[in-house]
Structure 1
Amino acid sequence: MAAKRQKIADLLHAHVPVKQICEIVDCKKTLVYDVRRMVKEGKSLERTKGSGGHNKIITDNFLNDLHCKIEADPSRSIRKLAKDLNVSRMTVLRAVGQLGLKSYVRRRRQLLSESSKNSRLERGKILINQLKKKPRSTVLVFSDKKNWTVDQARNARNDRFLAYCVDEVPCINQTKHPASAMMLGVVSSDGKRMPPYWFPKGLRVGAKEYLEVMQEVVKPWLDATYPDNNYIWQQDSAPGHKAKVVQTWCKDNLAGFWPSNFWPPSSLDCAPLDYGIWGYVESKACATPHSSVDAMKAAVEREWAAMDEEYVSRVCRSFRPRLEAMVEAEGGHFEV
């Protein structure tokens, strides 16, 4: 193996292409990249005597040592543990499995104060009671606003790329101040959704502006879609939404309406658009960056219209189980 590595190093020094080196030496690209890295870091191409960490037997002492290191700092990566113990990454992975442990991605959560938890608990109970009382034919209509940008969407956990080295992985470029547009989205528990409404560029959406949209866009759509008035309108507690003039108008003009003191604060985990719709549309509409705001809007509208009604209905149906889980967690975070 040392002779093969040395031959690869000589060919690399002669600027022979990687693909050609693989054919000459009869090896995989990974070995060529490993040798190039070893040469760059000044490491010996000879195998260190007794370095076979990948063949190390996992003894009780090794497991105890590993367990102590993990308990001291559970955030340390598998790679760092392997380096400290002078074994391969696969050895640590197998040992971690024998210890009954798994490596999980740390989740980001909104910080909830005690007052927020109490309010979530109280209002969650109110909404559950409202759901129990409503007729089976009543449709829940959920609404929310989202600011879309022309940048490519990125999932920090799932955006992966198979390559022989990091240099081959394309970057997801982000602009410092990307062009954006604000959209009002409306979905219903029967799978229907209102065509996206885009707020004018630079508009500060207060009570007056939001009320105009409710009067000129939302109410006509509700009347045309649900002529029997068998719906309940939901909106969050944004300042423009809970203004007295907006609350009064909704109460007087909508068939069914949950006032602002019904909706739990800091409840993205209970809003169907937040936990199931926005991410789904974004993953498809923003898989690549957009050249302009108009191109971004067109992509969002296309994926919005293409959403399967059964998917939208399924997302909305999980609203009540989430409320019940929130109440069971006494207003705190919950898993579903």
Structure 2
Amino acid sequence: MKSKVQTAVKNKYENGDGPAKIYRDLAGVVSLQTIKLWIEMIKNTGSINLSSPSGCPRTVRTKPNISKVKWRLAKKKRVSTRELSANTNISRRSIQRILREDLGCFPYKKIKQPKLTDLQKAKRIKFVNWVLNNYTKEDTEKWLFTDEKYFDLDGVYNVQNDQVWAVSRAEADKKGGVHQKSKFPAKVMVWLSVCGKGLTMPVILEDETMNAERYIQDVLPIALKCGNNMLGTNWAYQQDGARPHTHSLSQKWCDDHFPAFIPKTRWPPNSPDLCPLDYSLWNELAQAMNWDHITTKAALVDEIKRSIKEVEKEKVLRSVRDFAVRLRSIQKNGGNYIR
């Protein structure tokens, strides 16, 4: 029986993928040279036919052992290769090969997302239906989507992706293999908004605090000015359910000054997947920042202001247009969270 890896190679090749792309997609499960040999077989015979298994006969990756691993994986989905190795008396390396090459499995990190109650899902569906019944896709590009986020001097660090290749731990450390983290790093709160015309200027609060009074005094006038300059007189202001936003005085200010706004009775709770800043643009901003140059709070503020101008306009527009797509997805999935 052909392995799942061979089947994957054949399918990818027939879909137009080249050897290098297939190799990358399979994360090095088999060598590039092997993939090229298999593709030659497909060209000549239409399939991958191995007359005999390469190398020595299998003594560990046998059908019974593969079935054993598959059964344990189905019984307990959250299990490490180390635990599988201990429970099956198979080496960890062989377990990894069984998972990848024989079962076609790949490791995925758990992703954090808000836990939605049935009531919150119902409110999300109600909001989606309201938007789709009252606004076109072009209308939502005239919404000013807003959010706040903390930025600190320690920057953005991903333990899975920020890797340094070196011959030793000491050399890796010299090449920047240590991420130092302060116990109480200096930080600032950034308010930012976006629409189909682009990102606005930010409001940066260096003392980190926000209440309704400050929101009305320091943020909302900037939002009004940016919205009018970018969108004219026909646009709507969006904000989430943070306390300074839902305060009665904040709601009244919005009602009195904005051409239109999404009141607290409309915007669904626990829904960062509906704000372009949350699901896309905060990350784009963080990636555009040069964290090596940020050593003081003043430098952090300057870098935030500079990097907002560096975020690609195409990515900004795509993220805003994706809002309408997400509405449809939520309508189809019963109000569940989407990534």
Q: Which residue is equivalent to 1:252?
A: 256
TM-score, normalization by structure 2: 0.74
Name the SS of the counterpart of 1:240 in structure 2: helix
1:160: Cα distance to partner?
2.6
Amino acid at match of 2:313: E
CA displacement 1:84-138 (0-9 Å, x = unmatched): 5433626632454422433222111222222222222222222222323x86596
Structure 2: gaps (5+ residues):
1-54
CA change 1:214–1:332 in 2 (3 A) is same
Q: Tell me what 2:203 maps to.
A: 197
Give 1:59's aligned residue.
62
- RCO (CA 8 Å, sep 6+): is it higher in 1 or 2? 1
Match of 2:299 in 1: 295
Q: TM-score, normalised by structure 1?
A: 0.74
Q: Assess, with a 3 A threshold, how the Cα gap between structure 1 residues 137 and 154 changes in structure 2: closer, same or farther.
A: closer
The aligned counterpart of 1:207 is 212
Could you tell me how far 1:262 is from its partner in structure 2?
1.5
Contact in 1 for aligned 2:61/2:94 (Cα 8 Å) = no
* SS, match of residue 104 in structure 1: coil
Distance 1:135 1:68, change over 3 A: closer
Aligned amino acid, residue 284 of structure 1 = A
Moved more, 141-150 or 207-216: 207-216
Task: Give the whole-Å Cα distance in 2 for the aligned partners of 1:186 and 1:300.
Answer: 14
The answer to whether structure 1 residue 243 and structure 2 residue 247 are counterparts is yes
1:39-58 superposed matches below 5 A? 56=59, 58=61
How big is the alpha-carbon RMSD for the aligned residues of Structure 1 and Structure 2? Answer: 2.8
Q: Equivalent residue of 1:241, what SS?
A: helix
1:76 is matched with 79
Secondary structure in structure 2 of the residue aligned to 1:146: strand
3-state SS in 2 of match to 1:143 = strand
Measure how far apart 1:161 and its partner are. 2.6
SS of match in other structure, 1:144? strand
Q: 1:275 aligns with which of 273, 279, 283?
A: 279
Q: Retained in 1: the 8 A contact 2:141–2:195?
A: no
Distance in 1, matches of 2:338 and 2:218, equals 34
Q: 1 CA distance for matches of 2:331 and 2:191?
A: 28
Look up the SS of the partner of 1:155 in the other structure. Answer: coil
Distance 1:200 1:63, change over 3 A: closer
- Report if aligned partners of 1:148, 1:181 keep a CA contact under 8 Å in 2: yes
Counterpart position of 2:22: none
Report if aligned partners of 1:150, 1:180 keep a CA contact under 8 Å in 2. Answer: yes
130, 137, 161: which one aligns with 1:126: 130
What's the counterpart of residue 316 of structure 1? 320
Whether contact under 8 Å (1:247, 1:259) holds in the other structure is: yes
Q: State the match for 2:191 in structure 1.
A: 184
Q: Say which one has the larger Rg.
A: 1
Q: Distance in 2 between matches of 1:64 and 1:137?
A: 52
Does structure 1 residue 148 correspond to structure 2 residue 154?
no
In structure 2, the CA distance between the partners of 1:162 and 1:60, relative to structure 1 (3 Å rule), is: same
Shift of 1:164: 3.3
Aligned mates of 2:279, 2:223 — CA distance in 1: 22
CA distance, structure 2, for counterparts of residue 195 and residue 206 of structure 1: 20
After the TM superposition, which of the residue ranges 301-310 and 324-333 deviates more from structure 2? 324-333
SS at match of 1:325: helix
The residue that corresponds to 1:104 in the other structure is 108
Asked whether the equivalents of residues 53 and 87 of structure 1 are also in contact (C-alpha less than 8 Å), the reply is no
CA contact (8 A) 1:235 1:241 kept: yes
- Whether 1:159 aligns to 2:162 is yes
Question: CA 1:127–1:179 in 2, change beyond 3 Å: closer, same or farther?
Answer: same
Contact 1:147 1:183 in 2 (8 A): yes
2:141 and 2:196 in contact (8 A); partners too: no
Q: Which residue of 2 aligns with 1:6?
A: none
Give the partner amino acid of 1:187: V
2-structure distance, mates of 1:237, 1:166 = 46
CA distance in structure 2 between the aligned counterparts of 1:275 and 1:261, rounded to whole angstroms: 22
- Quote the Cα distance in structure 2 between the aligned partners of 1:53 and 1:153: 47
* Contact 2:140–2:324 (8 Å) recurs in 1: no
Call closer, same or farther: CA 1:120–1:209 in 2, change over 3 Å. Answer: same
3-state SS of the aligned residue for 2:337? coil
Contact 1:251 1:257 (C-alpha < 8 Å) held by counterparts: yes
Quote the Cα distance in structure 2 between the aligned partners of 1:55 and 1:312: 53
